[in-house]
Chain A
Amino acid sequence: AQSVTQLDSQVPVFEEAPVELRCNYSSSVSVYLFWYVQYPNQGLQLLLKYLSGSTLVKGINGFEAEFNKSQTSFHLRKPSVHISDTAEYFCAVSEHYQLIWGAGTKLIIKP
């Protein structure tokens, strides 16, 4: 069975600094990969997804992620964070139709 690892439960970063949120998954077969974001008191919102094609995927709000098959990783990056990026970020892999989730990473923006 698939598993998704988000090693960092929290990532503090200064405003306007770059950030990388790490995600590794277990399977080496073809997968669909997703990053979802949950802003305070809101539901889950899709940030970006990798289904096939270019390994560099661009999402909303200036985020991007790179699919690395050999390292089974799908790290999320943003070159300059804003206070409004404060949220919890979830990496997920699609196994058939259900999503297998990482534990989530809380992005904490320091002014």
Chain B
Amino acid sequence: EAGVTQFPSHSVIEKGQTVTLRCDPISGHDNLYWYRRVMGKEIKFLLHFVKESKQDESGMPNNRFLAERTGGTYSTLKVQPAELEDSGVYFCASSQLLGNEQFFGPGTRLTVL
């Protein structure tokens, strides 16, 4: 069974540019989560999808971040325009049932210069 995959593994962009991160969850997992770890700080929840619906986006930092999950399969997280403080590692996770173990992808390391 394939695990959670994320693309790209690394992204280096300049302030003001746009970046789109992609996450492919484990097949059959309705729940998809995005988390972020800014350098030196805790991993923070960003949002949660159940299938294609956003259940909770309370952790999204501001309106420069847009997450989608069209069709309830893969998800994208777009940052537009990127700011320096957006640098960090963005993790995606999926789970079959709510409250169950979340399986994590390898993360995307975003560097905004």
What residues of chain A have their CB less than 8 Å away from a CB belonging to chain B? 4, 32, 34, 36, 42-46, 49, 90, 92, 94, 96-104
Contacts and interface: CB of A to CB of B under 8 A. Distances in A.
Main secondary structure, interface of A, reads: strand
Given A99-B45, A102-B42, A103-B42, A44 B33 contact: no
Contacts of B45: 98-100
B52 to A, nearest CB: 16
Given A99-B45, A101-B35, A103-B41, 7 more contacts: A44-B104, A45-B104, A97-B48, A98-B33, A98-B59, A100-B45, A102-B42
Contact of A101 (B4, B43, B56): B43
Given A97-B48, A99-B35, A49 B101 contact: yes
Contacts of A42: 106
Contact of A99 (B56, B98, B102, B107): B102
Contacts of A104: 42-43
A52 B111 CA distance: 40
Nearest to A4: B42
B105 A101 contact: no
Interface in B76-113: 91, 93, 98-99, 101-107
B101 A90 contact: no
A97 B104 contact: no
Contacts of A92: 43
B33 A94 contact: no
A94 B45 CA distance: 11
Nearest to B95: A97
